[in-house]
């Protein structure tokens, strides 16, 4: 009897200690996230769409280009890579933080599929009077771009898809992210243990993102690991990872009907999404052109920003040549990558 009481008391004490540790971590991570947001204030403007507060920047003049980022980063990644600066020479450039990333909200009560995010961005573009933009998207952001094209192709000028995931495959990160995306349990982990694990894993993630090239000095200087590892952004990343496979399966049916001009760009040494995904999509789309960049990894927009801006410029020129009237496609797709 005494031993049983001792074990019960020991378990109770251990439980209290565990709860105290988790509570301390949660409070600490909450205040670290708030301090991080103060140190990295928004550089753009805010727009409320269907109750969602979106952070965006809107600069420059000319044919509009809307830039959509991937996971683990924010819209500012397009600035750090140099793509935005190049496009600003001849285009109006609009960059959104996707819901839950950067300074954009991600309200609960919604399943933030790429289709849901696409609808939100479409409404935001209408509010900002963005007509027939060329959508430039990287990594998981390409699923949002394809969802936009599947639902609103008449409102778009074309797509430039970089290092995208387009067809379902078994992926380890989906399994790992599933727990973080769960209600309650995921929140507990995201506010306690997940940020600590994230700090340990981040060097490997950065290596995977850029390998085989070196991590650029500007990325090292401007990228904020602390912003990426806020509990709210960890939740957004986890949810997006979990929704990748069903989104790719759902979108595949629409590929054959996408007559928009599409430029596909991928690195031949991408360790996160293999180049075969882009090759396969190029074979499915009726009006696409593919460029595989030798010696580039997943962050190919850092390796070849000029290639991306040239693709945007050439789509814009072709649209201008046909008077922005119809989206019948480009007669010579190879011109997308001509210099």
Any idea what the CATH number is for the domain that residue 113 is in? 3.40.50.1820
What are the Cα distances from residue 168, in Å, to 83, 214, 287? Answer: 28, 29, 22
Task: Flag whether 36 is in a domain.
Answer: no
6 within domain boundaries: no
In angstroms, the CA 13 to CA 8 distance is 9
Question: In this structure, is residue 253 part of a structural domain?
Answer: yes
Tell me which DSSP letter residue 159 carries. E
The whole-angstrom separation of Cα 69 and Cα 103 is 13
Q: Is residue 29 part of a domain?
A: no
CB-based contact 297:206 (threshold 8 Å): no
- Please report whether residue 5 resides in a domain: no
pLDDT tens for each residue of the chain, 339 residues long:
544 545 556 556 666 676 777 778 778 888 888 999 999 999 999 999 999 999 999 999 999 999 999 999 999 999 999 999 999 999 999 999 999 999 999 999 899 999 999 999 999 999 999 999 999 999 999 999 999 999 999 999 999 999 999 999 888 777 777 788 888 888 899 999 999 999 999 999 999 999 999 999 999 999 999 999 999 999 999 999 999 999 999 999 999 999 999 999 999 999 999 999 999 999 999 999 999 999 999 999 999 999 999 999 999 998 887 764 444 444 344 445 443
For the chain, how many structural domains are there in total? 1
Question: Is 247 inside a domain boundary?
Answer: yes
Residue 35 counted as domain residue: no
Task: List the strands of the sheet with 158-162, edge to edge.
Answer: 45-49, 52-59, 91-96, 63-68, 134-138, 158-162, 262-267, 288-293
Does any domain span residue 97?
yes
Structural domain harbouring 163:
45-337
């Amino acid at each position: 009897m005494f031993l049983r009481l001792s074990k019960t008391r020991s378990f109770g004490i251990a439980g209290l200690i565990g709860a105290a540790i988790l509570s301390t971590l949660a409070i600490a991570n909450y205040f670290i996230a708030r301090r991080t947001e103060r140190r990295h204030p928004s550089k753009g403007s805010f727009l409320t769409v269907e109750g969602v507060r979106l952070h965006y920047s809107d600069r420059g003049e000319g044919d509009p280009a809307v830039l959509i980022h991937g996971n683990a980063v924010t819209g500012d990644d397009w600035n750090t890579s140099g793509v935005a600066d190049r496009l600003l020479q001849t285009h109006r450039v609009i960059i959104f933080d996707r819901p839950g990333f950067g300074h954009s909200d991600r309200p609960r009560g919604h399943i933030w599929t790429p289709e849901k995010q696409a609808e939100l961005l479409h409404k935001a573009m209408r509010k900002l009077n963005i007509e027939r933009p060329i959508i430039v998207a990287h990594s998981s952001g390409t699923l949002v771009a394809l969802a936009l094209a599947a639902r609103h192709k008449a409102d778009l000028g074309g797509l430039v898809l970089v290092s995208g995931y387009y067809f379902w495959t078994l992926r380890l990160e989906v399994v790992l992210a599933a727990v973080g995306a769960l209600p309650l349990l995921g929140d507990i982990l995201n506010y306690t243990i997940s940020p600590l694990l994230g700090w340990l894993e981040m060097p490997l993630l950065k290596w995977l993102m850029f390998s085989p090239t070196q991590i650029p000095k500007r990325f090292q200087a401007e990228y904020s690991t602390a912003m990426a590892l806020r509990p709210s952004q960890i939740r957004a990343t986890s949810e997006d990872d979990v929704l990748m496979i069903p989104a790719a399966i759902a979108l595949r049916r629409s590929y054959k009907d996408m007559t928009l001009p599409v430029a596909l760009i991928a690195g031949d040494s991408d360790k996160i999404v293999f180049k075969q995904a882009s090759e396969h999509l190029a074979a499915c789309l009726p009006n696409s052109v593919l460029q595989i960049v030798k010696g580039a990894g997943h962050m190919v927009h850092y390796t070849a920003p000029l290639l991306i801006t040239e693709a945007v410029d050439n789509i814009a020129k072709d649209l201008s040549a046909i008077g922005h009237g119809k989206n019948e496609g480009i007669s010579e797709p190879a011109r997308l990558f001509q210099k």
